[in-house]
Amino acid sequence: MQPGVKFFESLFEVAHVEFQAYDLSNRRLLFSSGLAHRLLGYSADEYFKLSTDFYKTIIHPDDLQKVQETIEKVIHAKDNEVIEMTIRLRRSDGCYIWVNSRQMILERHDHVFKIIREVEDITQLVELQHELEERVRQLKVVSFKNSHLLRSPVASIIGLVNLIEEHGMAGEHNRQILHFLKETITKLDSVIHEINNDAKLD
Residue 68's domain is classified under what CATH number? 3.30.450.20
The mean predicted confidence, pLDDT, of the chain is 78
Same domain, 87 and 17: yes
> Domain range for residue 159?
127-198
Say whether both 10 and 110 belong to one domain: yes
Q: Within this chain, do residues 157 and 103 fall inside the same structural domain, yes or no?
A: no
Given a cut of 50, is residue 5 above it in pLDDT?
Answer: no
Number of domains in the chain: 2
Contacts of residue 149, defined as CB under 8 A and 6 or more positions apart, other chains included, come to none
Does one domain contain both 20 and 91?
A: yes
pLDDT in tens, 147-173: 666 666 677 777 767 766 676 665 666
* Domain match, 73 and 8 both: yes
Residue type, 180: F
Q: Enumerate residues 6+ apart whose C-beta is below 8 A from 59.
A: 67, 87, 88, 89, 90
Judged against a pLDDT cut of 50, whether residue 107 lies above it is answered with yes
Q: What angle do CA 20, 25, 28 make, to 5 degrees?
A: 45
**What band does 201 get if pLDDT is binned at 50, 70 and 90?**
very low
Same domain, 21 and 113: yes
Are residues 109 and 48 part of one domain? yes
Does 19 lie in the same domain as 105?
Answer: yes
Indicate the pTM of the whole model: 0.63
Q: Are residues 61 and 104 in the same domain?
A: yes
Q: Of 64, 99, 121, which residue is a domain's last?
A: 121
SS3 category, 169: coil
Strands 18-23 and 112-121, sheet pairing: antiparallel
Q: pLDDT digits over 16-62, tens only?
A: 567 778 887 788 888 888 888 888 999 989 999 998 888 999 999 99
My answer on whether 100 and 63 are in the same domain is: yes
Regarding whether 77 and 29 lie in a shared domain, the answer is yes
H or E element: which one contains 97?
Answer: strand 96-109
For residue 102, give the nearest of 114, 86, 91, 88 by alpha carbon: 86
> Within this chain, do residues 66 and 147 fall inside the same structural domain, yes or no?
no
Q: Which of 78, 105, 121 is the last residue of a domain?
A: 121
Question: Hey, how many other C-beta atoms are within 10 angstroms of the C-beta on 109?
Answer: 8
Among 103, 121, 139, give the residue marking a domain's end. Answer: 121
